[in-house]
């Protein structure tokens, strides 16, 4: 009987230790409450020193994970199994997450630093009243080019990309909405057009662009343009700022026909285990001095009005990256087109890429 009792006690102790170790491991991984916070963000999209400062200020350990696209992020969260506390999706993805019940409403009383956000970046169509999201960075899609490699020529329009003098000199980002959007914008159509005939017109016009396209690439576009491997590129404004910092010969323009203006916002998904810590992190990033530091590191435009006071004039006064409302009010946000229409855009883009071969 004594041996049975000892065996029972031993089994109980081992079981207890296993439960304790598992709980501690999950906490370390960011899958449970107050001691840790798991942030899911784009790659190299926050100053690591700010993560360290937040940890020292709050005592909360930050687990930082990254994604390469909104679609990859949505898929991972939808499949569950990962307790992300703060996520940084783009505008149309936020709309999709709201529709699918993937977001927790924000407690604005825990976000006093939200007051420093420029009003023109609040209450936007993808999240009216900012019930679920607060601005992180914003920017535009446009053209970067090296005028010295174009015999002194300056570009102003999407139409310039079709000029015969640019044969084999243009790099495009590997993204359906952006590339199909070039065709749509050049024809005067909306970036959110769902008319099949308009989309086919845009695709046919893109087929005519093929001789000028040197390559369709990913993140390496920054290095290729900075190293003058190509004269022209389709890039986001923040990438353009980093490229120009590496090679001042290049310039960035917002095409006269218009383009996409985008916003990346911080949200708290329903997977969150540390909701209080998530609010603390968001509020920390909204602090004007922290936002300014983050802006200098990342290179994209800050929506934090008060942060501009801590940034040099050479950054805030650059109209290429901080265009006024007279320009941004004419630009378009991407809308959530739905799964079927997005698949159609991807199909048209794939056919365009195949047409190059």
Please spell the DSSP secondary structure of 212-241, one letter per residue. Answer: GEEEEESTTHHHHHHTTS-SEEEEEHHHHH
Question: What pLDDT score does 158 carry?
Answer: 98
Question: What pLDDT score does 14 carry?
Answer: 44
Q: What are phi and psi of 346, to 5 degrees?
A: -65, -35
- How many residues are listed for the chain in this entry? 357
Neighbours of 318 (CB within 10 A): 14
Indicate whether this model's pTM tops 0.85.
Answer: no
pLDDT digits (tens, 9 = 90+) for 244-261: 999 999 999 999 999 999
Which domains does the chain show, CATH number per domain?
7-137+263-322 (3.40.190.10), 139-261+331-355 (3.40.190.10)
Question: What pLDDT score does 263 carry?
Answer: 96
3-state secondary structure of 136: strand
Low-confidence spans in the chain with pLDDT less than 70: 1-34, 357
Question: What pLDDT score does 61 carry?
Answer: 98
Residue that has been written with the tokens 């994604």 in this structure: 67
Q: What are phi and psi of 137, to 5 degrees?
A: -140, 165
Asked whether 152 and 293 are in contact (CB, 8 A), the reply is: no
pLDDT digits (tens, 9 = 90+) for 204-250: 999 999 999 999 998 899 999 999 999 999 999 989 999 999 999 99
342 alpha carbon, distance to own chain's centre: 18
Question: What pLDDT score does 355 carry?
Answer: 87
Q: How far apart are CA 293 and CA 307, in angstroms?
A: 9
């Amino acid at each position: 009987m004594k041996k049975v009792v000892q065996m029972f006690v031993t089994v109980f102790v081992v079981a207890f230790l296993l439960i304790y170790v598992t709980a501690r491991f999950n906490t370390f991984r960011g899958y449970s409450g107050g001691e840790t916070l798991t942030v899911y963000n784009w790659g190299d999209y926050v100053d690591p020193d700010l993560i360290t400062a937040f940890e020292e200020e709050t005592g909360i350990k930050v687990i930082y994970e990254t994604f390469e696209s909104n679609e990859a992020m949505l898929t991972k969260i939808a499949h569950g199994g990962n307790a992300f506390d703060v996520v940084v999706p783009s505008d149309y993805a936020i709309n999709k997450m709201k529709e699918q019940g993937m977001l927790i409403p924000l407690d604005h009383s825990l976000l006093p630093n939200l007051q420093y956000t420029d009003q023109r970046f609040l209450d936007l169509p993808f999240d009216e009243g900012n019930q679920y999201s607060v601005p992180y960075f914003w920017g535009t899609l446009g053209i970067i080019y090296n005028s010295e490699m174009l015999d002194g020529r300056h570009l102003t329009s999407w139409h310039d990309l079709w000029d015969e003098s640019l044969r084999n000199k243009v790099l495009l980002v590997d993204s359906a909405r952006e590339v199909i959007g070039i065709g749509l914008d050049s024809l005067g159509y909306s970036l959110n057009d769902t008319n099949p005939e308009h989309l086919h017109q845009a695709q046919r016009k893109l087929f005519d662009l093929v001789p000028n396209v040197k390559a369709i690439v990913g993140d390496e576009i920054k290095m290729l343009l900075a190293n003058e491997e190509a004269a022209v590129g389709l890039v986001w404004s923040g990438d353009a700022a980093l490229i120009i910092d590496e090679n001042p010969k290049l310039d960035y323009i917002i095409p006269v026909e218009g383009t996409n203006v985008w916003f990346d916002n911080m949200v708290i998904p329903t997977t969150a285990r540390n909701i209080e810590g998530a609010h603390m992190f968001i509020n920390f990033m909204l602090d004007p001095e922290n936002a300014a530091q983050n802006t200098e590191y990342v290179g994209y435009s800050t929506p934090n009005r008060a942060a501009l006071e801590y940034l040099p004039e050479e950054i805030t006064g650059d109209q290429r990256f901080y265009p006024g409302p007279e320009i941004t009010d004419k630009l378009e946000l991407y809308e959530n087109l739905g799964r079927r229409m997005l698949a159609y855009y991807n199909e048209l883009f794939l056919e365009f890429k195949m047409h190059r071969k």
